[in-house]
Each structure stands twice: as structure tokens, then as C-alpha cells.
């Protein structure tokens, strides 16, 4: 589990103060993957640096499995850092070292006996699917394979937390999905807590159990995927499950509603239930439906006939757990 409490980072620039983190609080339970998304300048990299104490926070606390990293001695901090594995956009491997030598490097630093290193490295290479490439050099590996080496190396010291900073931003879509599958496998096998910093909504959709939106140094929205996707007032719902760009805002007369929901009900039952219950024709203007993990999510834009009882229909939909936004009447 990783717990962040009211983390602030203020940089002094000349006579100005730059507030990079304004007070970030965050909790990621053990064995879950949490995504942090945000535009350029939102404070993502600052957050990563403060979490690992590479940069001293101005105030606030960071704890891993209940152990506070802020306010500890240099020795304790060195130990605590081993509890956090780091994965970067580029694997940053040593070109002159083979796969197994790269993965074993953190253990060499801690003075681990050679035999133990060899056993641990073999186990990790098996886990990340690189057993066959133990003797290969980075130049002989693909970008995805290099990233796997980086992940195996991050796991060498048996960390409780894996902190991934834009882990797939340099990879093609297929390799991205393979790496995300690997991260999910690690979560499930090792029960490791994962924090992924990313600007890609695809990463959030494919891999994350929960997500935070960072903006101007503050978390402005957070929650598990189901709750943010069905929160019509939030921004994440509209970026995670956008309607097609050319979705009509109107089509003739009648009120337009946007619906966000999750569950087994595909699009059909919702629309037909409204039609049947209120004895009206419902016009579907646009929709996007996605299967994420084992859940189905839908974002629909529908239009009701001019004489429909909008309030009753809206209440009916809401009572069925559907988030409704009235887009206007024509
Ligand atoms: N060392 C520093 N000195 C002064 N200001 C800084 C420093 N590092 C970051 N900042 C400022 O803090 C804010 C957050 O920067 P940060 O690098 O954390 O953003 P980011 O979300 O990682 O952006 P990007 O997606 O572009 O990498 C920015 O306004 C930036 O200019
Ligand atoms: Mg950054």
C-alpha cells in the first residue's frame, strides 16, 4: 500500500515560488494498479521525484506499507527506496551488460552473493518472459524486450511498490498492450502495488484499477474506473469513453440526453426499456461501448420525442444507475 498525505512541492525560481504540487493526497491499496494522468506541467514528474524522495517534498508525507519515507535517516531512506521499483519510459539499460547482468545489477549493489543473484535473475527472466534472452545485449533486443528487462531489474530487490513513469510512451500499440498485460500479471502474481504515470488514456483503460487526474499540482478527480467513467460531471468520463467527435448535438426536435453507465446491460436493453416504459421512440444519435477488464461501459447520446416526459425519463434512468446529462432541447 502506498499512502501520500498532503504532499506539497514548491520550487523557488528567482524571486518567484512555483507550486508544482499543491497538496496531493493519495492511497493505493496493496495489489492494485493506480494511474495518474495529467497534462504537461501538471506535476507528474515532480510527484514521481517526491515519492522516491529524489526530490525533498516541501511538506507532506509518503509511506509504503505504513512505513514513512519522509523524515527518516539516510540509511533508512536507502532501505526504503529498495521497496520502490522504478520503471521509466526508456529502459536505461547498460549497453555493455547482458540481460541477466542488467537485471542482477541492483543485487550486486547490495552485495548479494553471486549464487543468489543468479537464482533471482533466472526467476525474474522467467516471470517477464525473457528466459531465452539472458545472454543478449540491449542492442539485440526490441523496445518491448528492453522494457521487460527494465521491469525485471526493478523487481530484483522484491519491492512492495512499482512506480512506472510513462512506461509505454515509447512503444507501439501492440507492444504497449503486451507490457500492460505483464504489469497486470505482476500485480496478480506478486500482489505488488503499482503506480503508473501516463498521458495515455489507453493505459488507464487497459491496466488501471483506479485513476487520479492531476492538474496544476492538485488531484482534481479520482476513483476506481467504474466510478469515474460513470461520473457525468467529471472530465475523466469524457476522455476515457468519448463520444465520436462528430456526434450530433441535435437532430430535429426533441431533448438530447447523454447517458453513461456500466454493467451487463448492453445498449439495447436500456433503450428498449425506456421505449417500453414510456411508450416512445428513442433515437440513438451516437454511442461508444467498451469492454474494460470484465466490465462493459457505455456512453450514449439519445434523443427523446418532443412530447416526452423528460423529467420522468431522467429519473427512471437515474434510478437504474445510469448517469444522465440533459444536453438541451431543440
Ligand atoms: N526544478 C524545478 N524548478 C522550478 N520549477 C520546476 C522544477 N521542476 C518542475 N517545475 C515546475 O513545476 C511544474 C510541474 O512540472 P512537472 O515536470 O512535474 O510536470 P509534468 O506533469 O511532469 O509535465 P510533462 O508531462 O511535460 O512531463 C511545472 O510548472 C514546472 O515548470
Ligand atoms: Mg514529466
Residue-by-residue DSSP string for 174-185 = HHHHHHHHHHHH
Instruction: Decide: 11 in ligand 1 pocket, CB within 6 A.
Output: yes
Query: Which atom of ligand 1 is closest in space to residue 214's alpha carbon?
Result: 21
pLDDT given for residue 203 in this prediction? 94
Coil, helix or strand at residue 2: strand
pLDDT given for residue 35 in this prediction? 97
pLDDT band for position 321 (cuts 50, 70, 90): confident
Average pLDDT over residues 298-302: 90
**Ramachandran bin of 118, using left for φ above 0, alpha for ψ from -120 to 50, beta for the remaining angles:** alpha
The rounded Å distance from CA 217 to ligand 1 centre is 9
CA separation for the pair 168, 146 (Å, rounded): 12
Q: What ligand has the least distance to the C-alpha of 8?
A: 1
Residue-by-residue DSSP string for 182-228 = HHHHHHHHH--EEEEEES-HHHHHHH-SEEEEEETTEEEEEEEHHHH
Q: Provide the CATH topology of domain 241-329.
A: Alpha-Beta Plaits (3.30.70)
pLDDT given for residue 72 in this prediction? 83
Instruction: Decide: 252 in ligand 1 pocket, CB within 6 A.
Output: no
Chain segment 19-44, per-residue pLDDT in tens:
999 999 999 999 999 999 999 999 99
**Nearest-CA neighbor of 290 among 218, 242, 235, 227?**
242
Residue 95 predicted with pLDDT over 90: yes
Query: Which atom of ligand 1 is closest in space to residue 42's alpha carbon?
Result: 21
Q: Which residue has the cell 495489489?
A: 31
Instruction: Decide: 150 in ligand 1 pocket, CB within 6 A.
Output: no
Instruction: Decide: 45 in ligand 1 pocket, CB within 6 A.
Output: yes
Chain segment 262-282, per-residue pLDDT in tens:
876 555 678 888 999 999 999
Question: For strand 16-28 and strand 33-37, is the pairing parallel, antiparallel, or unpaired?
Answer: unpaired
Coil, helix or strand at residue 121: helix
Whole-number mean pLDDT of the chain?
Answer: 91
Query: Is domain 2-229 in CATH 3.40.50.1950, yes or no?
Result: no
pLDDT given for residue 5 in this prediction? 96
Out of 107-116, 118-127, 288-297, pick the least confident: 288-297
Residue 150 predicted with pLDDT over 60: yes
Q: Which residue has the cell 469515474?
A: 228
Query: Which atom of ligand 1 is closest in space to residue 48's alpha carbon?
Result: 18
Domain residue ranges in the chain: 2-229, 241-329
Residue 226 predicted with pLDDT over 80: yes
pLDDT given for residue 212 in this prediction? 97
Amino acid at each position: 500500500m502506498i499512502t501520500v498525505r498532503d504532499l506539497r512541492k514548491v520550487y523557488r525560481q528567482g524571486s518567484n515560488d512555483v507550486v508544482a504540487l499543491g497538496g496531493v493526497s493519495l492511497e493505493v491499496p496493496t495489489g492494485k494498479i493506480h494511474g495518474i494522468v495529467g497534462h504537461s506541467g501538471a506535476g507528474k514528474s515532480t510527484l514521481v521525484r517526491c515519492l522516491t524522495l529524489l526530490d525533498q517534498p516541501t511538506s507532506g508525507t509518503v509511506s509504503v506499507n505504513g512505513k514513512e519515507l519522509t523524515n527518516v535517516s539516510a540509511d533508512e531512506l536507502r532501505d526504503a527506496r529498495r521497496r520502490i521499483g522504478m520503471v521509466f519510459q526508456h529502459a536505461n539499460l547498460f549497453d555493455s551488460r547482458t540481460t541477466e547482468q542488467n537485471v542482477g545489477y541492483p543485487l550486486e549493489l547490495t552485495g548479494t552473493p553471486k549464487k543468489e543473484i543468479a537464482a533471482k535473475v533466472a526467476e525474474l527472466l522467467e516471470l517477464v518472459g525473457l528466459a531465452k534472452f539472458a545472454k543478449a545485449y540491449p542492442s539485440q533486443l526490441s523496445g518491448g524486450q528492453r522494457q521487460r528487462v527494465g521491469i525485471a531489474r526493478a523487481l530484483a530487490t522484491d519491492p512492495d511498490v512499482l512506480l512506472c513513469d510513462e512506461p509505454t510512451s515509447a512503444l507501439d500499440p501492440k507492444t504497449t498492450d503486451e507490457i500492460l498485460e505483464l504489469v497486470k500479471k505482476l500485480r496478480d502474481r506478486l500482489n505488488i502495488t503499482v503506480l503508473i504515470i501516463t498521458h495515455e488514456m489507453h493505459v488507464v483503460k487497459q491496466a488501471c484499477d483506479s485513476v487520479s487526474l492531476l492538474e496544476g499540482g492538485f488531484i482534481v478527480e479520482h476513483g476506481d474506473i467504474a466510478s469515474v467513467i460513470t461520473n457525468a460531471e467529471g472530465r475523466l468520463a469524457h476522455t476515457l469513453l468519448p463520444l465520436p467527435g462528430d456526434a450530433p448535438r441535435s437532430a430535429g426536435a426533441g431533448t438530447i440526453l447523454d447517458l453513461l453507465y456500466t454493467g451487463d446491460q448492453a445498449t439495447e436493453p436500456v433503450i428498449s426499456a425506456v421505449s417500453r416504459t414510456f411508450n416512445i421512440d428513442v433515437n440513438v444519435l451516437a454511442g461508444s461501448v467498451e469492454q474494460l477488464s470484465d466490465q462493459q461501459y457505455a456512453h450514449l447520446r439519445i434523443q427523446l420525442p418532443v412530447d416526452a416526459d423528460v423529467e420522468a425519463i431522467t429519473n427512471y434512468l437515474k434510478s437504474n444507475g445510469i448517469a444522465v446529462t440533459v444536453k438541451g432541447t431543440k
